[in-house]
């Protein structure tokens, strides 16, 4: 399944020939008609266009452009009456299926978005305002072409339509993801929530040491992320910046948030040292770690998680230390070392190899991998016995063949077992107290 997805992705990427070097140059320069009419644009709008153009050129410097081109008209025809996945200040995203590939997300300038409307109200120049908004999408495309990481949504390609029609412009063809819903995430097992936080930390580590330098996500909020095959990915990069705040003294380097401020140092190079990395890390703490890390975590891991929360909440850790702390928790969890010094309860169960039970009465627990019963991640039958012994409803459990992303098996906990059913792949563990009076 995974290999098939990679083959489809490779085929899609090959099919979607990106902007040629010539096309990119055309995008970086205003069209001839704009040059002739440039004096008609308000000075403020002209300056904003020049600033975004300089920013785009700087990001594109050294980046290789793929040869070929795909006209946006072809992409729009593939979209047809595609449903809108979302729209924001500058862009609109629709779902589409291209020939020879799977479903993708098409991102283009939102002509009725707030950025274009506010610009038109300010300058009264619709064409110039659409061009101004297009530079933000071009910036995002450029960043996605330069940055490659599992935590960044994949750019399959981009198309450029140089026609003179009003809707002409650039369209980005992106990996399709599902919106990140925090309420749903809070209902998922702790192991899955830890995976999301770990993925974010790995992404922030990459951004702190990227080929373009330290990158800050200025609009760092859950809505800027999507879920793809259980992994969290940032999907909106137009507000990312490689610039670190300039300074003359330490007083110029206060990192402000609504509830906290952090004094930073002004480096000898005249930059606020580590400000991009620290802004990203604190935003990850306040939007993700606080909600996803502590709840329903294994008790033995909670002291380690509390230290992570305190250290990132006070910016005592940088991203390097945070990544090491997460990797330590992952090692303890996968290896089962966190289970040491616990009473051994498996002796209170009878194990029957080659059988499973037919459940007469299901019971539910939270947070479970199944909404229909109690299905939890365990390191071993010993941990499963401890869980079953702590739940009055539980009379038996089975270690299933299912595995989580850490390689741990899922155990199904049951109440009121009835008949034993032959199953060569299963082992059923029944409480000795529950087995009294039953013929096993």
The whole-angstrom separation of Cα 296 and Cα 93 is 35
How do residues 15-49 score in pLDDT, each as one tens digit? 443 333 334 444 444 444 443 444 478 888 888 88
Say which CATH topology domain 179-339 has: Transferase(Phosphotransferase); domain 1 (1.10.510)
**pLDDT tens digit string along 53-93?**
877 777 766 554 443 345 556 576 666 666 788 877 788 88
Q: Compute the residue count for the chain.
A: 440
pLDDT of residue 323: 98
Annotated catalytic residue 250 = no
Nearby residues of 185 by Cβ (< 8 Å), 6 or more positions away: 192, 193, 196, 291, 292
| pLDDT for position 222 | 92
Confidence at residue 248, expressed as pLDDT on a 0 to 100 scale: 93
| Distance from C-alpha of 226 to C-alpha of 232, rounded to nearest angstrom | 6
pLDDT at 361: 61
Per-residue model confidence (pLDDT) at position 328: 97
pLDDT for residue 78:
64
Q: Residue 181, Cβ neighbours under 10 Å: how many?
A: 11
> For residue 385, what pLDDT is reported?
95
Q: Catalytic residue, from 74, 219, 239, 307: name it.
A: 219
Backbone angles phi, psi at 71, to 5 degrees: -75, 140
CA distances to 350, 386, 410, 428, 436 from 353, in Å: 10, 20, 17, 7, 19
**What pLDDT is attached to residue 77?**
66
Exposure string of 49-60, with b = 16+ CB inside 10 Å and e = fewer, is beebbebbeebb
Domain ranges of the chain: 82-176, 179-339, 346-436
Residue 237 and residue 144 in contact, taking contact as beta carbons nearer than 8 Å = yes
- Name the class of domain 82-176: alpha beta
- Report the chain (440 residues): mean pLDDT per 10 consecutive residues: 47 41 44 48 83 76 48 62 77 79 82 84 84 86 91 86 55 89 92 97 97 94 92 92 92 93 93 95 97 93 96 96 98 92 88 77 84 92 94 90 94 80 85 62
Euclidean distance between the first and the last CA atom of the chain, given in angstroms as a whole number: 40
Q: Which CATH class is domain 346-436?
A: alpha beta
């Amino acid at each position: 399944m995974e290999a098939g997805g990679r083959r489809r992705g490779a085929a899609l990427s090959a099919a979607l020939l990106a902007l040629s070097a010539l096309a990119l140059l055309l995008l970086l320069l205003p069209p001839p008609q704009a040059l002739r009419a440039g004096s008609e644009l308000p000075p403020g709008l002209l300056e904003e266009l020049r600033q975004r153009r300089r920013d785009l050129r700087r990001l594109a410097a050294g980046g290789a452009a793929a040869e070929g081109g795909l006209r946006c008209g072809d992409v729009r025809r593939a979209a047809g009456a595609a449903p809108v996945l979302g729209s924001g200040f500058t862009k609109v995203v629709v779902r589409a299926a291209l020939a020879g590939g799977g479903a993708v997300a098409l991102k283009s300038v939102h002509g009725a978005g707030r950025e274009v409307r506010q610009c038109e109200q300010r300058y009264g120049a619709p064409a110039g305002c659409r061009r101004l908004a297009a530079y933000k999408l071009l910036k995002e495309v450029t960043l996605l072409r330069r940055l490659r990481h599992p935590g960044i949504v994949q750019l399959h390609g981009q198309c450029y339509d140089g026609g003179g029609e009003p809707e002409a412009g650039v369209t980005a063809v992106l990996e399709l993801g599902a919106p990140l819903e925090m309420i749903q995430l809070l209902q998922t097992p702790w192991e899955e929530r830890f995976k999301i936080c770990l993925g974010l930390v790995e992404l922030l580590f990459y951004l702190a040491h990227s080929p373009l330098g330290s990158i800050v996500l200025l609009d760092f909020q859950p809505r800027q992320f999507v879920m793809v095959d259980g992994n969290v990915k940032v999907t909106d990069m137009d507000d990312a910046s490689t610039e670190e705040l300039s300074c003359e003294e330490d007083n110029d380097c206060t990192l402000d948030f609504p509830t906290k401020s952090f004094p930073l140092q002004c480096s000898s190079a005249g930059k606020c040292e580590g400000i991009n990395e620290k802004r990203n890390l604190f935003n990850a703490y306040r939007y993700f770690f606080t909600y996803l890390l502590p709840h329903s975590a294994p008790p033995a891991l909670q002291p380690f998680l509390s230290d992570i929360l305190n250290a990132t909440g006070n910016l005592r850790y940088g991203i390097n230390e945070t990544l090491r702390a997460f990797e330590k928790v992952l090692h303890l969890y996968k290896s089962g070392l966190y289970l040491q010094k616990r009473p051994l309860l498996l002796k209170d169960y009878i194990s029957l190899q080659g059988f499973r039970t037919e459940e007469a009465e299901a019971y539910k627990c939270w947070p479970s991998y199944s909404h229909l019963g109690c299905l939890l991640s365990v390191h071993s039958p010993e941990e499963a016995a401890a869980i079953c012994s702590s739940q009055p409803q539980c009379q038996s459990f089975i270690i299933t063949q299912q595995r989580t992303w850490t390689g741990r098996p899922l155990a199904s906990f049951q109440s009121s077992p009835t008949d034993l059913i032959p199953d060569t792949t299963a082992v059923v563990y029944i409480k000795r107290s529950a087995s009294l009076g039953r013929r096993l």
